[in-house]
Structure 1
């Protein structure tokens, strides 16, 4: 195991703990630019990394806080999981006919990072406005109710494609989507529900990339060794660091990296 990978895992875990930003937004560009991994390997490894690290968070949200709406998770999964599998088959087909997939994955990664940067800038504002007690009624009434479930499934499908191609978006973009789709849902439930949906999505997409040979398990182990204590420490010191300063800086960094991927 490379000490540099462990140190990178710790640094990313620390930032995830402090800011709540998904590890994919930080880890995948780091693996590509700092360590020179191919985008496909960076994405595949990071997807399994995300599936493992997010599991503990869902255990807390479901077991301790009871803050996961499993109906919403199932609706999102109805769209995201089939489209994740379909995206893997498209990548596999392109590889089988000799088409280069690096450009597709790189461009998708850039788009996902730009969208995540924008989501970061508005997420904290929306979350502050959204703070309230847990509501029993999640589905709206009237005409919007008829569109809410199909819109949720469609949102899941979009996330399924984007996350499978880039490993980015299950966190910040998923949270924003749930906030808009379910305005009556509490802030705590929004976070727990998004986290619970991210696990099967990243697991399915990660296993798909594994089948394509896009996962480096030595790298994965090193990242896990570093990131788990990093997340724990970051979560404990997050209250001491002004989020209104750190979040815009992080969003700007992701935006610059995203533009570099898109314009490369």
Structure 2
């Protein structure tokens, strides 16, 4: 087996293990890891989007069987995200002569979304506590959000559609924070199920869009999946034995450092 093929299997195994262990971090880790291995950024993003869609499909099926998906919320998010993803792909394909012309947009988007993902992971417990307190106290802004939930959900879907298509990052962890903020009364397992299902839909459409521009390396994608799928199972099995308050800061700090690399270097 070639060294490059083994390295892609190893990369898939590492990311799969982290995803299984923490439930987040797939796109946040895969795209930066591939670029550090010498893969062009547009190819890393396009391949990672389809990788995310395929690797998360199993989780979405399990959540569906356990009725952990709020389909109304999923489809409302998709109402904004799917058209936004398609239009973003159209803009990249028709407004720029080639991938090098919009590389700076992809790099900036990736750095920004890594930063957002890192902060979402690190601050999620505090945000959840504050949202719960404000829900109980009938906070004014909370009441306004409740009155405009559908419009805000579609708007956040649009934002997710654009940024995920440009960076391959955020469909999971940032999507969870959006749902926690907009739907604080929704059980966490249903937030996760809804987010995973929406992420599958969004990354599939965005990935197919990148595929139409030749940004998907199918050979590499196959080896990433070979490495990741078994490790997702192993990581998931071990996740119950490790404390979340230890795992979260490590992952958040890693993404924070990676974001600085793409923003400033």
Please give the TM-score of this superposition, normalised by the length of structure 2. 0.90
Separation in 2, partners of 1:145, 1:11: 40
Asked whether 1:69 is paired with 2:70, we answer: yes
How far residue 127 of structure 1 moved from its aligned partner, in angstroms, is: 5.7
| Residue in structure 1 matched with residue 57 of structure 2 by the alignment | 55
How far residue 146 of structure 1 moved from its aligned partner, in angstroms, is: 3.3
| Residue in structure 1 matched with residue 220 of structure 2 by the alignment | 219
Q: Give the one of 25, 45, 48 matched to 2:47.
A: 45
**1:89-142: CA deviations, max 9, x gaps?**
1111233378711111011000000000000012244568889xxxxxxxxx97
Q: Is the 8 A contact 1:123 1:172 kept in 2?
A: no
Asked whether 1:245 is paired with 2:246, we answer: yes
How far residue 22 of structure 1 moved from its aligned partner, in angstroms, is: 3.1
Aligned 1:1-264 pairs, distance under 5 A: 2-33=5-36, 35-63=37-65, 65-96=66-97, 100-126=101-127, 144-264=145-265
- Alignment CA distance shift 1:195-1:150 (3 Å): same
- Alignment CA distance shift 1:169-1:218 (3 Å): same
- Alignment CA distance shift 1:129-1:227 (3 Å): farther
Aligned-CA RMSD value: 1.9
| Residue in structure 2 matched with residue 137 of structure 1 by the alignment | none
Separation in 2, partners of 1:260, 1:110: 7
| Matched position secondary structure for 1:169 | coil
Q: Is the 8 A contact 1:14 1:233 kept in 2?
A: yes
Matched pairs, number: 253
5+ residue gaps, structure 2: 133-141
Please give the TM-score of this superposition, normalised by the length of structure 1. 0.91
How far residue 246 of structure 1 moved from its aligned partner, in angstroms, is: 2.1
Separation in 1, partners of 2:237, 2:213: 38
How far residue 176 of structure 1 moved from its aligned partner, in angstroms, is: 0.6
Separation in 2, partners of 1:161, 1:206: 12
**1:45-103: CA deviations, max 9, x gaps?**
0000000011100111011x201000001110010001001110111123337871111
How far residue 162 of structure 1 moved from its aligned partner, in angstroms, is: 0.6
Q: Is the 8 A contact 1:73 1:196 kept in 2?
A: yes
Q: Is the 8 A contact 1:108 1:162 kept in 2?
A: yes
How far residue 185 of structure 1 moved from its aligned partner, in angstroms, is: 0.8
Separation in 2, partners of 1:26, 1:173: 14
Q: Is the 8 A contact 2:42 2:99 kept in 1?
A: no
Q: Is the 8 A contact 1:94 1:100 kept in 2?
A: no
How far residue 144 of structure 1 moved from its aligned partner, in angstroms, is: 4.1
| Matched position secondary structure for 2:214 | coil
- Alignment CA distance shift 1:149-1:241 (3 Å): same
Q: Is the 8 A contact 1:44 1:215 kept in 2?
A: yes
5+ residue gaps, structure 1: 132-140
Separation in 1, partners of 2:78, 2:153: 9
